[in-house]
A and B are shown apart, each in its own frame.
Chain A
Amino acid sequence: MTPLLEAKGVSKLFGEFCALRDVSVAVQANEFVSVVGPNGAGKTTLVNLLTGLLVPSSGQVFFKGHSISGVGPIALAKRGMARTFQLVQIFPQLTVAETIAAAVVSEQGKQWRLFTALSGDAAVRQRVEEIAGIFGLSGRLGHAARMLSQGEKKLLDVASAFALRPEVILLDEPTSGVSTSEKHALMKTLVGAAKAAGVKSVILVEHDMDLVAAYSERIVALAQGKVIADLPPGPFFADPYIVATVVGKRLGTNARHQGP
């Protein structure tokens, strides 16, 4: 079976610096894959290549069997790939409803409607309410995005991406900046929402090994721009060398117990 998303021998140079070297990763449909690695390992570069934000220096990226090198984020959103950014991205002056609606308008191809009232569009409103419901933001629809709590901003960021009805979603450290106690609740919401929204595959970039262990079906570990492991959680966490490289120190036993 053709993988849904695949990077084949991808390298990325920034001037002299080689951020990624000959990386090959494949994500199948209905798979939850985590990308882990120490700071500077090339995780975000990989995500930016996979989402067409960056063009690889060599190698190619395929989405649903078609090359997407340099296609750009707009075209990819249309083809069924969505992403969130490591730092929370919102539209400060838009309300929660408007933020989600902005994505729904793209998804429903209504961006060239200049003279129809958005407020009278039942199809958009219905979808906005549906998405807000999934993410527990129903009570916040009329609030300006900038007034939300950090956790809610994060939810809104992801919710608007989900509104595109993506087949694949890339979550770049979705729990960064969220307190440890809220991390699991947030991930639970995100994973539940992904299922509810019909997302086929999730790619998670994450530092928190507890979360990675709890949700991943496969873990890709990067170090210094190279793939050092591509394993299911069991064997992954059983290998002390890999774990030490990724985490920088030996991992406690609790992460392993939380694995599926």
Chain B
Amino acid sequence: MTPPGSRLLLVALGIAALGLVPTLAPPFYANLLVPFFAYSIALIGFNLLFGYTGLLSFGHAMYLGLGAYAAAVVAGVLGIRQFELVLLTAALAAVLVALPIGFLCVRYTGIFFGMLTLAFGMLAHSFLFKFYHLTGGDSGMRVPRMRILGLEFDAYNKIELLAGPFYYYCLGLMVLAGLTLWRIVHSPFGLQLRALRDNPQKAESLGVRVRQLRLLAYVISAVYGAIAGAILGFRIGLADPELVHWTHSGHLVFMTVLGGFSSFVGPVVGALALTLLQDQLQSITQYWRFVLGAMLAAIVIFFPRGLAGIAIDSARLLARRKQPQVAA
């Protein structure tokens, strides 16, 4: 089988396995995986900016927060309890916020881009934290239960809803988000992003509109973040300012690096690994952050291509070992 074919099969198997979780495992696990779907969506988008465009944002949690607060405003304040409308609003809000901020940030690269995005993230956090009458300050804003696909699911309590219909809904969203971004990175636009990542000066001389393309990548990644944030808001039932905190942005970077930013599925692997690992570690030791920190250091030093890189390399190694047998 060709490598792309086997990779596709692996992804299909993974999705099928995830589809079986609510029926085979206790609701606890399905409930645990809902944030994983949200982070996967956020990170697939985040990696368009990081892995494919070469811009590392340290303020991306801002857009997750934006999505959650959009859910709180639309469903809570305005009382429009339709999750699809919330997603749409979150996406639109992300475009409106990301356009001016991105316009300023993509003029810079490297550490300057990172610091500028960090600064905007901190501004957003203090805005949410201090404007108590608007945002609820440190207590955040409530995100009520919503209809999904126009259905109320009255018979389910919140846990059952999250571990059942909402679980499948988010799995579907993740697949859709993944397919869309897969198309984007394999489009002419995606190619020019990778070109400008590798060598912006050469790219410009080839007519690549470096800044505009960077801006569009930034806006797309913001939309992905906001959709993820709306999911997180629904699940927690709260739009919390801590969603926007810079440590949460660091969390996104951590998951991306853990999974590997040089492959498309790497960030998804990272999101899954960290979601499960954090859950396990938290039940074992209160020093789980220490363990995670040590792991990140080890990954960066020994496996810069992350968990996905390790998997791909070992699959290649296996295939190479098998080859002589096939020939014989």
- Chain A contact residues, CB within 8 Å of chain B: 51, 72-74, 77-78, 82-85, 89-94, 98-99, 101-103, 105-107, 110-119, 121, 124, 157, 160-161, 163-164
Contacts and interface: CB of A to CB of B under 8 A. Distances in A.
A102 B203 contact: yes
A111 B213 contact: yes
B189 A111 contact: yes
A92 B206 contact: no
Contact of B208 (A84, A106, A157): A106
Contacts of B192: 102, 105-106, 111
B199 interface: yes
A113 B189 CA distance: 6
Contacts of B207: 74, 77-78, 103, 106-107, 164
A76 to B, nearest CB: 9
Interface in B185-202: 186-192, 194-195, 197-199, 201-202
B190 A118 contact: yes
A112 B213 CA distance: 8
A118 B187 contact: yes
Interface of B: 180, 183-184, 186-192, 194-195, 197-199, 201-210, 213
14 contacts: A78-B207, A85-B201, A85-B202, A89-B201, A89-B202, A90-B198, A93-B197, A106-B206, A114-B184, A114-B190, A115-B183, A118-B191, A157-B202, A164-B207
B195 A117 contact: no
Contact of B206 (A51, A102, A114, A117): A102
Nearest to B199: A91
Contact of A99 (B186, B195, B209, B213): B195
Nearest to B194: A94
A237 to B, nearest CB: 32
Contacts of B197: 93
Contacts of A160: 202, 206
Contact of A119 (B184, B186, B204): B186
Contacts of A93: 194, 197-198
A115 B190 CA distance: 9
B187 A117 contact: yes
Contacts of A83: 205
A94 B208 CA distance: 15
A83 B207 CA distance: 11
Contact of A111 (B194, B201, B205, B208): B208
B205 A161 contact: yes
B194 A91 contact: yes
B184 A161 contact: no
A212 to B, nearest CB: 23
Given A77-B206, A83-B205, A163-B206, 10 more contacts: A74-B207, A77-B205, A82-B206, A84-B205, A89-B199, A92-B199, A102-B203, A105-B191, A115-B180, A117-B186
